[in-house]
A and B are shown apart, each in its own frame.
Chain A
Amino acid sequence: MRSIYLKEIVQYFSSPVFFVLACVFVGVAGVFFYNAVAYANLLATQMSQYQAPGGISVSAVILRPLFTDMSLLVILLVPLISMRLYAEEKAAGTMELLFTYPVSDLKVLLGKYLAGFSVFVLILAISGFLTALLAVATTPDWGVVLASYTGLILMGGAVLALGVFASSLTRNQTIAAGVTMGGVLVFWALGWFADTVSSGYLGAVLRELSLAGHLSRFFNGLITLKDIVFYLLFAVFFLAVTLRVLDFHRCRG
C-alpha cells in the first residue's frame, strides 16, 4: 500500500498538474474570499455610520459564503485529481503489470485513494491561509473554520471515491472526470429534487442522499455523527464497487 501511495504521489508531482490545480483552486477561492471580505467591510462601515453597536457576524457574512463557494470548487477539483488514478494505468497498459505485483487489489486501491486524498487535502490546506488572513481584520470563529474544513475534507473524500470508481471504468481520463462531475452533480442536486418531491419517504431519502445537504451543518460549526457517517459510507460504497469493477476487468483481461 505504501509503495503504491508513494508511486502515485511521485506521479502527481512529476507533472505540473498539482501546482496548476492548486493555483486555480486557491486563486478562485481567493477571489471569492476577497468578495466576501469587501462585502463584510461595506456592512461594517454602514453599521458604524448608523452607530449600531457591535460588529458583524463574521461566520455568517464571510465564512459561510466562502466555504459554500469552496465546496463548489471542491466538486470541480476532486474529479480532476481522481481521473488519472486508474484510467492512466489502463491507457498505458500498466494495469496488467500492477495486477501481477504481489499486492492485493484492495491495497492498490487504498494506496491510490489515499494518494489522491493527500493531494486534495494538501490543496485544501494551502487555501487555509485565506481564513488565517482574516485575523488582520477581525477574530473569525476558528471553531466554524475547523468544522467547515472537516466538512469539506469529508465531502471531498466521498467525491474522490466516486472519482476513483469512474476512473476504473474507462481508459480515458476526460471521460473519467466527466462521469465523476456528472455523478457528483446528480448527488449534489438530489436535495433540490427532494424539495420539489416534497413530502413522503422519497423526499426524505433523496435529502439524506444529497451530498450538499450534509454540508450545511458543518458550515454552521456543527459536526454531527450522521454527516460524518454519510460521507464515510459514501466513500466506502464507491470504493467497494471499484473493487468489483477491478475484479471484473481482471477476469476479462
Chain B
Amino acid sequence: MTPCIALDPQQDDPIFRLPVTGWTPARAFLRAGGEYAGVIDILLFVCLETLARSDAQGNQRMITIDDLTKVYGSRTVVDRVSLTVNHGEVLGLLGPNGAGKSTVMRIIASAVPPTSGRVRVMSCDTVTESIKARRCIGYLPEHTPLYPDMKVESLLSFAARIKGGRKNGVKDRVRNAVIEFGLEEVRNRSIATLSRGYRQRVGLAQAMINDPPVLVLDEPTQGLDPEHAYEIRQLVKDLSGSRTIVLSSHVLSEVSQLCSRVAVLNKGRVIAVDSTEKLVSLHQNHTRITIRVGERLDQALKTIEAVEGVISASSSNSQVIKAETVRDRDLRPVLAERIVNSGIPLLGIAREEMSLEEVCMKLVTGEDATRA
C-alpha cells in the first residue's frame, strides 16, 4: 500500500495518492459521501500518513530502471540502461528509430520481460510483482492498438473493469473518461469508424481510466495531423503535474514543450539524461546569429567573417547569413555596428538558440563516431 503514497519533491505540500482508489485526498473527500471506498480510503490515508512521510524519500522515485538489457535473438535492443523517474516528472525518450525507446517503454509497462536487469515501478518489480506494478501504470502502445469491433464505451468499461480492484464505479469512471477526453460524440461508435484523433483520445482514455500514477505513452502524436497532435499534447499537458509520465516522440519540439527531463537513446544505450534546458545549453558550443541584409551579400559575408569571435559564416540564399560565434559573448551589437558602418542595409539580426533536435543529432552522430 505504501508505494502508492508519494510526495511531490518540488513542493512542501505533499500530493498524496490514496492506496485503494488512487485518488487525491481532496477528490476522496468530495466523493466520500457517495462511495464507501472513499471513506475507507480516507481512513487508510490517515493511518498511513505518518508512514508515508518517513518513507517519502524512497518513494519519490516512481520508476527505477537498473542496468536493463533486452536481447532479441542476437540483437541487443536495450543495452545496460539505468534511469530513474521521480514523482511528477515528465520524461521524454528521444532517439533515432531502433534506438530502443519502445522496448524500454514496453518493459516498464510489463509487456515484455527484461533479459537482465530490473525495472521497478513504485518499488514493485515488473517481473516478480508484475501485477502490482501493472496496476500503477497506464500504457499507450505505439500505433494505439484497440479492438476495432468494440464500441468506445464498452472498450472503456472493459479497461476500467480489468484494471479496477473495485467492482462498482465502472460506470462513473467511464463517464468521467468520456467527458475528460471529449468522447461524448463517439461514445457509441465502434473503434473502427473513428478518426485517428479520436482513436488516440480513446487510447489515452483507456490508459488513464483508473487514474494510474504513472503514464507510459509511446509516440502519442505519431501520425496525427497538426491540429489533433496539438489536442493530444494539450491533454498530456493537463495530465502532467501530479502524474509521472514517460513519453517518446519523434517530434522534438513536442518533447521540449512537454518534458521536464529528456533521455537520449542510441542503439539501446542512454547517451544523455538531463533537463531539456540544461541539455541544450550543455551541448551548445557556438551561438548562431542570423543576419538579414538587403543587398551586397558577399561584402556582408566578408565583413562578418572579419569580426573577432566569429568562427564561420555562410549564406544559404541571397539575403540570409548564418554566423557561428563563440558562446561566451553576445556578438550582435558588434556585428550590427560593423554591417551598418559598411553601408550595407541591415534588415534584421537575431540570435538563434540551438534546438533540441540539433543537440540530439549531434549527440547521436557524435556517439556513433566514437563507437566507430
- Flag the segment in B11-19, B107-115, B256-264, B332-340 that touches A: B107-115
A253–B218 Cα distance when bound, in Å, is: 15
Which residue of B147, B151, B154 contacts A94 across the interface (Cβ within 8 Å)?
Answer: B147
Which residue of B103, B112, B132, B141 contacts A250 across the interface (Cβ within 8 Å)?
Answer: B112
Central interface residue in A11, A97, A104, by most chain B CB within 10 Å: A97
B-contacting residues, A58-79, CB 8 Å: none
> Number of A interface residues, CB 8 Å?
25
A99 and B111: CB pair below 8 A?
Answer: yes
B134 and A11: CB pair below 8 A?
Answer: no
> What residues of B have a CB within 8 angstroms of the CB of A93 in the complex?
141, 143, 145
B162 and A102: CB pair below 8 A?
Answer: yes
A6 CB-CB contact with B under 8 Å: yes
B161 CB-CB contact with A under 8 Å: yes
B150 CB-CB contact with A under 8 Å: yes
- The smallest beta-carbon distance between A129 and chain B, in angstroms, is 29
Q: Is the interface of A mostly helix, strand, loop or mixed?
A: helix
A95–B111 Cα distance when bound, in Å, is: 9
> What residues of B have a CB within 8 angstroms of the CB of A6 in the complex?
158, 161
| Chain A minimum-CB-distance residue to B216 | A100
- Given A3-B162, A93-B145, answer yes or no on A100-B150 (Cβ-Cβ < 8 Å): no
A215–B187 Cα distance when bound, in Å, is: 47
- Given A6-B158, A101-B162, answer yes or no on A92-B113 (Cβ-Cβ < 8 Å): no
> What residues of B have a CB within 8 angstroms of the CB of A99 in the complex?
110-112
A-contacting residues, B226-281, CB 8 Å: none
Which residue of A7, A15, A104, A250 contacts B113 across the interface (Cβ within 8 Å)?
Answer: A250
- The smallest beta-carbon distance between B17 and chain A, in angstroms, is 16
- Given A11-B150, A92-B146, A93-B141, answer yes or no on A253-B72 (Cβ-Cβ < 8 Å): yes
A4 CB-CB contact with B under 8 Å: yes
A-contacting residues, B87-109, CB 8 Å: 103, 106, 109
A102 and B161: CB pair below 8 A?
Answer: no
Measuring CB to CB, which residues of chain A are less than 8 angstroms from any residue of chain B? 2-4, 6-7, 10-11, 14-15, 92-97, 99-104, 250-253
